[in-house]
A = this chain, B = another copy of it.
Amino acid sequence: MKQYQHPTADQITLTGVLHALSDPVRLNYVQCVAQAACEQACGTIPTPVAKSTMSHHIRVLREAGIIHIRPYGTQSLISLRFDELEKKFPGVLTSVLKSAESTDGVEQKNA
């Protein structure tokens, strides 16, 4: 079974988190994961790009410490490391997700 490496809370950097969230596809993916109440199977999250491109984006999010991936049989279950991020960078993820939600139209128009 595939194992995934995750940074510890200590290893997560603010600039790494901001970089990971600075791509519209990744930000949109994080919004989808955040909306789910529990872990989501990787394939159930809608993505607008090719699978290989999405794999890259998911790796960036995992390596930045934003998402956690847990292998489960043939699937990978994704969850947001919300509590750890909020504890380390209070308000950052919350305000980014809130702004992303309210500016979705604008972002797409300017993308």
Contacts and interface: CB of A to CB of B under 8 A. Distances in A.
B98 A91 contact: yes
Copies of this protein chain in the complex = 2
A103 B16 CA distance: 13
A59 to B, nearest CB: 17
Contacts of A96: 14, 18, 89, 92
A21 B89 CA distance: 14
Nearest to A10: B106
Interface string A26-52: 010000000000000000000000000
Nearest to A26: B15
Contacts of A111: 13
A18 B22 CA distance: 5
